Amino acid sequence: MKKYLLILITPFILFAQSYMAKVQPYDTFTIYAQASGQIVKLDKSDETTVVNKTLIKLDTSLEQKQLEIYNKQLSLYNKKLKILEDSYKKYITLKGKSQAEKDDKLYVIIELQISIESLKLNIKTLQDTLKKKAILAKDLYIKEFKVNVGDYVSIGTELASTYDISKSKLLVYVSEDDYKDIENKKVLINGKENIATIEKIDKTLDETFVSAHKITLTLKDDDFGKVLKVEFVK
């Protein structure tokens, strides 16, 4: 009699298998400095809030002065080039001038053109550095700053840890039975449908939970840390 009872109960247990998963931010990442300099803007009150603004700003006074000098140089170089080109056009029409003399004039123009292109590259590099000195946050949850106003940072310095909370996720490690044909199963969250969707299915067994497959679910729930019951049913 006990054997029959076990046969009747076992399928029900497999069908009702459930998992507990914690609501987590969709993504977690660290902001690193992409340029060197002293921090001149950082508001510690942004911690544990969602921000849409310039989060951190590094001092740009030196780069701004250098950029101003480069732009003045470029303007003067372009004026000089225009004069040399106009002069060269007249020079090559003069009789009695050898090809070597004409070439010498042309070489001066070419050297100046090379200097102009090199200066343009310096300006572009400097402008890129200036952009990297202002870190913009868009819909980011700032968990913690790793630096303070006044700190001098170098490239690669860890500045802040942040979360993408545009949506949330659940990581579920399912058995082989639930993994079978999982694409065609309904996802129930606390017994309800249409709350979470399957984003990723790991087809290989997990390295930590060696007999389970990791399933990533996404949902809209900002109650991070809350534990939900997850089921996969036909």
pLDDT, tens only, 92-150? 898 888 999 999 999 999 999 999 999 999 999 999 999 999 999 998 999 999 999 99
Burial tier of 26 (Cβ tally within 10 Å: 0-12, 13-18, 19+) = middle
3-state secondary structure of 35: coil
Closest to 163 measured CA to CA, from 218, 214, 217, 224: 224
pLDDT in tens, 3-58: 443 333 333 334 448 899 999 999 999 999 999 999 999 999 999 999 999 999 99
Instruction: Please give the pLDDT value at position 4.
Output: 40
